[in-house]
A and B are shown apart, each in its own frame.
Chain A
């Protein structure tokens, strides 16, 4: 009896110690976490950040509140420089889009993705080639013929921003089919889609979520997706067609693949505990039904990467952007 009491006491002490060390090892935020969006309100990155904020709040995934802050200045440069200068602050995370690569290359601001600590890739955003539904072409081949037939420079491609992902894809398409577009930059993806509906531009490379409403309304038509395989969502959108039915551009003779990163980074000098905390947090976010609905509504590619795999992916993408932007002549002087 005495023996077992001693045993119990020892076990209790051991448990206490274990929990004590456990508590000091697992890091948790002690202040509100700032969630930086290097883009304006209402855009794709902003929507995703606010969805995450809503999920975290609704399911009580964090003891501290999460606050979304838009720092869109200088094509997102404002947000990246802010996180870069918050070295060692674990209460700040940033969601990135392709401007992680394109902004420093095009503007020459002193920033590189290596200044940040990679946490996790949440998803990849697809790009689709869209035309107005009134147009006669249903296939990429017919579209290419029409572009080539138009006098040089009169075929207008609309896109979001200048020297960013939409224009990079446009240049790649130009090269693939040996022609020239007039690229017209707009502020946001929704505006681009509406300009296409109003026939003010001739085609766009909108993300699915930006153009899906107009597709369902019968105003726009998707021609192909800039991915290695068709999108996974087979629920019909309109006329019995689903995202899955859109062929890849490569299979249609347009050799270009492009996916946009939707990933999370932290300021420099984050510890492993801190990174692990956020990785676990985003795993929980991904498991919620709200997140899955959001992925479906935007036909996202749901690849999830962390740690070394994620860093390797980002590194490769950085190199690829350097090459793509150099070929297109988009580099800032001195880069």
Chain B
């Protein structure tokens, strides 16, 4: 019960008027940052970090983490309205969120996304409050082999559970892996596939690819279909929020499952992106109307959003207790901690109680404040879709270009974005799924790195992936997910044979 006493003390800290004000300012700034593609939470926090040096550390982390929550909420807005994910973990939200917006239900999609984010984050904070020390020691068991197993599971649950022809899924994924391999090979320190072009040193940044494939590709498709934007008949009043809320409790199983997936992936720390993809893939298979996924199913918005935010929030736990950031934004926050003179690590919870519990309390309050702010703005966001396409399309193009430029401050990236736009258009015309391609770009090099690190450690023996209970379990789960359809078919055949 000491935790609860600490937590209430934390609430007292977070509820001081000055801290409350910082919370609201942080959420507002965060939403703006999240809406601009390319800017992203990590950059936003990095830019604003110096502003906080003159504040007390607790106030500073409250403001910065609220920017983080705000950016997480804001990322869903562009994914749903324009099919442009601002952050890697918003990609899965576009699959059903964007079709919903096109069917004139942007308000429902936004409300579902925001509410799910809140539920996911709340679940994760509750977990942090209650079992922080236990969870931290679990994270220590994750070496390279365990990490690879988690990525393997993410890929498998996506391939095995997808309903597109497996050949096209795998082809798209292979293009993604090839693109992810460009740049510096982190194991040998050599440049790969750059052909002497210095701009390619970086490899292909995920954000550039996504802004092009989804954003620009979508605009090209819409232009071909006659310059109409089908979200025009969106209902724009707050009643939509209440109506959607009445529907949501029916999906509690999906929510709970996504929360668990998210927390687990955030702590390990594999991060929010695999969590959102895995949660979407599993929901697609297990949901009653799973075959409608991708056509605007509200459950397809709930699953990835809940998991992404549960993961994003629980990722702060390894950062605080171990000093390992679970996301790029967490990495910048980590830098902030050091500058404020706080040393993240096992001793932080013991020596800096006020700071840690103030931060945890601000997670509860910041998320609640964020939810209120974004929900009241739902009608305004939805109204954006009423603007005629001929006006909004150039604006989106400019936003995309700014977003692509701001990733590395380079005009080369803007060109690259346009190339990806054309590629996205062609792939869609040929009915190749884009999601596996994006998944492979985001996780490809991480999975490769973990794989090669494991093999280095095991002298090249593949047995390392089945060397202990933890890693074997995850690998077997992955294999089951990969061959799920075959297993199901075999099972039903056995049953008919027996009968």
A318 near B: Cβ within 8 Å?
no
**1/0 per position for B176-208, CB-CB distance to A under 8 A?**
000000011111111100100010011100000
B54 near A: Cβ within 8 Å?
yes
Q: How far is the CA of A301 from the CA of B335 in the complex (A)?
A: 20
Q: Which residues of B contact A285 (CB under 8 A)?
A: none
Of A69-77, A120-128, A222-230, A274-282, the stretch lying at the interface with chain B is A69-77
Q: Of B190, B345, B347, B449, which contacts A187 at CB under 8 A?
A: B449
Q: Which residues of B contact A182 (CB under 8 A)?
A: 456-457, 459
Q: How far is the CA of A78 from the CA of B205 in the complex (A)?
A: 13
Is B325 touching A42 in the complex (CB atoms < 8 A)?
yes
Q: Which residues of B contact A219 (CB under 8 A)?
A: 346
Q: Which residues of B contact A74 (CB under 8 A)?
A: 183-184, 191, 194, 198, 201-202
Q: Of A50, A57, A58, which contacts B46 at CB under 8 A?
A: A50
Is B140 touching A194 in the complex (CB atoms < 8 A)?
yes
Q: Of A57, A72, A77, which contacts B53 at CB under 8 A?
A: A57
A147 near B: Cβ within 8 Å?
no
Is A293 touching B341 in the complex (CB atoms < 8 A)?
yes
B331 near A: Cβ within 8 Å?
yes
Of A15-23, A25-33, A153-161, the stretch lying at the interface with chain B is A153-161
B49 near A: Cβ within 8 Å?
yes
A96 near B: Cβ within 8 Å?
no
Q: How far is the CA of A37 from the CA of B141 in the complex (A)?
A: 32
A131 near B: Cβ within 8 Å?
no
Q: Of A73, A108, A162, A184, which contacts B202 at CB under 8 A?
A: A73
A41 near B: Cβ within 8 Å?
yes
**1/0 per position for B371-386, CB-CB distance to A under 8 A?**
0000000000000000
> CB-nearest residue of chain A relative to B351?
A216
Is A197 touching B339 in the complex (CB atoms < 8 A)?
no
Chain B nearest CB: distance from A159 CB in Å?
A: 11
The answer to whether residues A41 and B345 also contact, given A50-B335, A194-B324 and a CB cut-off of 8 A, is: no
Chain B nearest CB: distance from A1 CB in Å?
A: 54
Is A185 touching B187 in the complex (CB atoms < 8 A)?
yes
Is B143 touching A213 in the complex (CB atoms < 8 A)?
no
Is A187 touching B46 in the complex (CB atoms < 8 A)?
no
Q: Which residues of A contact B49 (CB under 8 A)?
A: 50, 54
**1/0 per position for B334-368, CB-CB distance to A under 8 A?**
11001101011111100000000000000000000
Q: Which residues of B contact A193 (CB under 8 A)?
A: 323
A135 near B: Cβ within 8 Å?
no
Is A73 touching B201 in the complex (CB atoms < 8 A)?
yes
A332 near B: Cβ within 8 Å?
yes
Q: Which residues of B contact A72 (CB under 8 A)?
A: 202
B332 near A: Cβ within 8 Å?
yes
Q: Which residues of A contact B183 (CB under 8 A)?
A: 73-74
Q: Of B188, B325, B339, B343, which contacts A54 at CB under 8 A?
A: B339
B388 near A: Cβ within 8 Å?
no
Is B456 touching A109 in the complex (CB atoms < 8 A)?
no
Is B140 touching A41 in the complex (CB atoms < 8 A)?
no
Q: How far is the CA of A213 from the CA of B194 in the complex (A)?
A: 39
Chain A interface residue count: which class? 35 or more
Q: Which residues of A contact B347 (CB under 8 A)?
A: 213, 216-217
The answer to whether residues A107 and B190 also contact, given A50-B49, A193-B323, A194-B324 and a CB cut-off of 8 A, is: yes
Is A162 touching B189 in the complex (CB atoms < 8 A)?
yes
Q: How far is the CA of A155 from the CA of B422 in the complex (A)?
A: 49
Q: How far is the CA of A190 from the CA of B183 in the complex (A)?
A: 23
B408 near A: Cβ within 8 Å?
yes
Q: Which residues of B contact A213 (CB under 8 A)?
A: 323, 343-348
Is A41 touching B346 in the complex (CB atoms < 8 A)?
no
Q: Of B334, B409, B457, which contacts A156 at CB under 8 A?
A: B457
Is A187 touching B184 in the complex (CB atoms < 8 A)?
no
Q: Which residues of B contact A184 (CB under 8 A)?
A: 144, 453, 456-457
B142 near A: Cβ within 8 Å?
yes
Q: How far is the CA of A164 from the CA of B190 in the complex (A)?
A: 11
A214 near B: Cβ within 8 Å?
yes
**1/0 per position for B131-146, CB-CB distance to A under 8 A?**
0000000001111100
Q: Which of B42, B185, B201, B202 has the most chain A CB atoms inside 10 A of its CB?
A: B201
Is A190 touching B334 in the complex (CB atoms < 8 A)?
yes
Q: Of A51, A107, A200, which contacts B191 at CB under 8 A?
A: A107
B50 near A: Cβ within 8 Å?
yes
Q: Which residues of A contact B51 (CB under 8 A)?
A: 57
A64 near B: Cβ within 8 Å?
no
B170 near A: Cβ within 8 Å?
no
A81 near B: Cβ within 8 Å?
yes
Q: Which residues of A contact B53 (CB under 8 A)?
A: 54, 57-58, 290
Residues of B within 8 A of A (CB): 42, 46, 49-51, 53-54, 140-144, 183-191, 194, 198, 201-203, 322-325, 328, 331-332, 334-335, 338-339, 341, 343-348, 408-409, 449, 453, 456-457, 459
| 16 residue pairs from A and B, CB less than 8 Å apart | A41-B331, A41-B335, A42-B328, A42-B331, A50-B50, A73-B184, A107-B190, A109-B191, A162-B187, A184-B456, A190-B325, A197-B140, A213-B346, A213-B347, A217-B347, A330-B189
- The 8 A-B pairs of least Cβ separation, nearest first, read A213-B345, A74-B201, A73-B202, A217-B346, A42-B331, A200-B143, A162-B189, A163-B189
Q: With A57-B53, A184-B457 given, name 5 new contacts (CB 8 A).
A: A73-B408, A77-B184, A107-B189, A194-B324, A213-B347
